[in-house]
Structure 1
Amino acid sequence: MDGVQYKADNQTNELFKHNTGEASFVFHDYPQRAIVASIFIIASIVGTCGNSLVILAVILSRKLRNATNAFVVNLSCADILTSLIIPWNAVALLSRSGWPISPWVCSWAAGVLFLCVGSSLYSMALIGLNRLVLITRPKQMYNQIYNDKTLIIWIGSTWIIPFCIAIVPPLCKIGSLGYNSKYSSCSAQSTAPHTDIYDAIMALGLYPLPFVLIIISYVKIFLYVRSHTRTMTVRVSKDASNEAEKDMVVTIKDPNRSSTKDVFKKRQMQITKNMFYVVCAYFVCFTPYGLCLLIDSSDPAIPYTAALVLINGCINPFLYGTKHPMFKEVFKHMLRCNLNQIPEQSSLLRVFTGRN
């Protein structure tokens, strides 16, 4: 019955396009659908395993428990949920007779997918903002902005905002979520009322806002670092002009305090640079899809750009494992099963290894 129903939906969709003069693209090519479905399945497996490692690393090591990594864990949770949902899209793509099971499953899968992708985007934006405050503002201010209570609000916003953008409009009859016979996927339905408005809400709500926040955050970090570097260069030049005075200052001044501060700044800048790699992956993976939603003639590219969006959830754990020094260290011990070597072990891990 479901196959017959969605064949009828497909015919209705073709008739609608013919009457309105719109392009009659439908993702019928089964080999191409199989390729996209294979990408989805691989992304699901890799994304689930990789992001599970990120979350497990934070659970096992207290060294990774800070405000920034709270957003990283939230990002990984969103990416895991995405990875667990996308196989439903593979089912839709591989089915030759429309959606094979109950329609509500496809609607539910589309809603959760959009919600999780939106949460990932806003999590990355708030990571950039977090690094900006950490590097450019006093530590006391940072601790006030990112304490335990405010972190709940910050992280909650990464789910509430996408919910309002992706879920609320269909509940208000602006667009609809379910099986899309045009692309053979669980997403926004092409024939639903006000679909164009819903696509615009999604494209403008989920992409530009995080994009702007990320750009502002990292540009400000760059400008601050450049200004700080110039100030330090001038200060060193002035000190070098009077070697005797410099030696006296070094003797009197506590060298440990200065060096500790410099090491902290250097470490935070390295972490920020590594987080910027995550942002670069975000731009590469999300920009094509966001543009396709706004360009009517881009219909044939949408299945592939959507696959690129879902691949982003697989990339982040590899970036943490190869670029982030603290995650890299914990990952190394986890993958080698040397749990006793994990730095600053959590109480849970100490119980597991018999150290308590």
Structure 2
Amino acid sequence: MVYEFQWEDGLLVGLLGISSMVGTIGNAAVILAFCLFKKVRSTNNAFILNTSIWDLVTSAVIIPLIISSTMTGLPNCGEACCAFIGFLNLFSLLQSMLSCALIAFNRYVHVVLSLATYKRLFGPVKAFLWVVGSWLTGTLIMFPAVTGIYGSLGWDAHVQMCQLSHEDPASVLFFQNVVLSLYWVVAFAISAFYARIYLHVRKSTMAIGQHLGHSPQQVSLQAVKRTKHMFYIFFAFLTLTCPVVVVNYADFFATFLPKAVFFISFAMFYCNTAVNPIIYTWTLKEFRQGFKSMVHCRRHIVPTPQAAQPGVQRPVRVINVLSRSGVPNHVVPSEPSSDTSVLNT
């Protein structure tokens, strides 16, 4: 069988090559910043670390193997190796979904529920246990395909990559009924968490604006701002992964849709691994400072110098994080935040 390399294949290889390079460098920098700097090792960032670990596996291992398979039209290694790469491919997708769900749940507990509840559910050790739980959950989800009970892992000739074996008819059912169904369940749950957070913050802000008195559920602007940044991560994940999910429902075997449409949606899915580190740098101050310290070969994060004169108290600057969402711009009294819990492991 002679495989003919077409221009659509070249488009896919180019997009995947950029994603692999940017994702490998970016995610490695995120993991290194978490390991080097105490300020970055917070409870919240533990879930970001989990996402970056599996994004690094995808960008540094899986994407180069996909590029090789696309150029040759053949699997990269033996049957056992191809099955293992297929497991990593699907498992990394599951971890991205579960990490987004953990981040949304963490933000929901911190903003909507009490501080005591947050401390009871999250902390340095408990955050590690949540991550381990996501790994166990992903393993249980993949168990039917790993054991061959419902689908099997191996070479997929339709998309030319190691994922699910095209020789097993149940592989299509496993992908659609298990993996893609879980995708929509997780996406709906995360959307519900963020919608509940928005409604809670809006209600709290309006109550303060109408001088209805002190409420024990008042939210700090810092917590709301960080929640908004975490929502950016979920929104980017949903935007980049949803097209390929829809395409797999509409035309799983790529028989009537143009090949370019299938490959572009496929490349967008793997671009998510490169976009995440950019979002962290853009939105999260501790990662910006950590990356800057690594570039300057510093062992510690140097705080940003303050411009205030000695003996003069700087006025509090109120950050408008809700005006674009239609929420009145009032100062929301802050409460002690446990976001600064540091992971010592």
TM-score, normalised relative to structure 1: 0.76
In the alignment, which residue of structure 2 is the partner of 1:77? 53
8 Å CA contact 1:37, 1:90 repeated in 2: yes
Tell me the CA shift for residue 298 of structure 1: 7.3
Structure 1 distance, partners of 2:79, 2:262, is: 22
In the alignment, which residue of structure 1 is the partner of 2:64? 87
1:234-273: CA deviations, max 9, x gaps?
A: 228x89xxxxxxxxxxxxxxxxxxxxx98x8111111111
Tell me the CA shift for residue 304 of structure 1: 2.8
Residues 170 and 305 of structure 1: CA distance in aligned 2, closer, same or farther (over 3 Å): farther
Q: 2:296 aligns with which of 336, 341, 346?
A: 336
SS of 1:187's equivalent?
strand
Matched to 1:318, the amino acid is I
Structure 1 distance, partners of 2:34, 2:54, is: 16
Structure 2 distance, partners of 1:156, 1:210, is: 18
In the alignment, which residue of structure 2 is the partner of 1:166? 142
Residues 117 and 235 of structure 1: CA distance in aligned 2, closer, same or farther (over 3 Å): same
Tell me the CA shift for residue 297 of structure 1: 6.6
Structure 1 distance, partners of 2:285, 2:211, is: 30
Structure 2 distance, partners of 1:318, 1:189, is: 34
Q: Does 1:308 align with 2:288?
A: no
Aligned pairs for 1:242-261 within 5 A? none
1:180-226: CA deviations, max 9, x gaps?
A: 22222222222313133112134434411220221111001100110
Structure 2 distance, partners of 1:28, 1:134, is: 54
In the alignment, which residue of structure 1 is the partner of 2:222? 267
Aligned pairs for 1:1-356 within 5 A? 7=1, 30-84=6-60, 85-96=62-73, 98-99=74-75, 101-235=77-211, 265-296=220-251, 299=254, 300=259, 301-342=261-302
Residues 45 and 293 of structure 1: CA distance in aligned 2, closer, same or farther (over 3 Å): same
8 Å CA contact 2:158, 2:253 repeated in 1: no
Structure 2 unaligned residues grouped into runs of 5+: 304-339
1:71-91: CA deviations, max 9, x gaps?
A: 111111111111122211111
Structure 1 distance, partners of 2:137, 2:17, is: 28
Moved more, 211-220 or 185-194: 185-194
**% identical equivalent positions:** 24
Structure 2 distance, partners of 1:200, 1:165, is: 13
SS of 1:226's equivalent?
helix
Tell me the CA shift for residue 310 of structure 1: 1.2
Q: CA RMSD in A?
A: 2.9
Structure 2 distance, partners of 1:288, 1:174, is: 25
Matched to 2:65, the amino acid is W
1:128-168: CA deviations, max 9, x gaps?
A: 11011011122111011113443233212322222233343
Structure 1 distance, partners of 2:159, 2:253, is: 12
Residues 202 and 45 of structure 1: CA distance in aligned 2, closer, same or farther (over 3 Å): farther
8 Å CA contact 1:119, 1:158 repeated in 2: yes
Residues 132 and 33 of structure 1: CA distance in aligned 2, closer, same or farther (over 3 Å): same
Structure 1 unaligned residues grouped into runs of 5+: 1-6, 11-26, 240-260, 349-356
Matched to 2:63, the amino acid is I
Structure 2 distance, partners of 1:225, 1:30, is: 52
Structure 2 distance, partners of 1:28, 1:173, is: 35
Structure 2 distance, partners of 1:341, 1:116, is: 31
Tell me the CA shift for residue 336 of structure 1: 3.4
Structure 2 distance, partners of 1:216, 1:62, is: 32
SS of 1:64's equivalent?
coil
TM-score, normalised relative to structure 2: 0.78
